[in-house]
Amino acid sequence: GDFAKTLGVTQSYLSDLENDRKPISPKKAAEVAEKLGQPVKQFVRLAIQDVLERSGLHYEVELGDVA
């Protein structure tokens, strides 16, 4: 519905993210963070960590300052 429109995604894509059926790409995570006025680095870090965990790799991801 409205939240999916705000984020610029389809309702089915948002449902997949909410129900942990799909990972969000780091690029899409950055776009969502910007639209929500949230820290981009934190959203990107979590997206990267999720992709790693889905691959069976358990690492803490830390991002330095981005130019």
Instruction: Name all contacts of 29-38 with Cβ < 8 Å and 24+ positions apart.
Output: 31/7, 32/7, 35/6, 35/7, 35/8, 36/7
pLDDT per residue of the chain (67 residues) written in tens, 0 to 9: 799 999 889 999 999 999 999 999 999 999 999 999 999 999 999 999 999 999 999 888 888 876 5
Q: What's the confidence (pLDDT) of residue 34?
A: 95
Q: What's the confidence (pLDDT) of residue 24?
A: 93
Q: What's the confidence (pLDDT) of residue 66?
A: 60
Angle between helix 26-36 and 40-54 (nearest 10): 150
Q: What's the confidence (pLDDT) of residue 67?
A: 55
0.85 surpassed by pTM: no
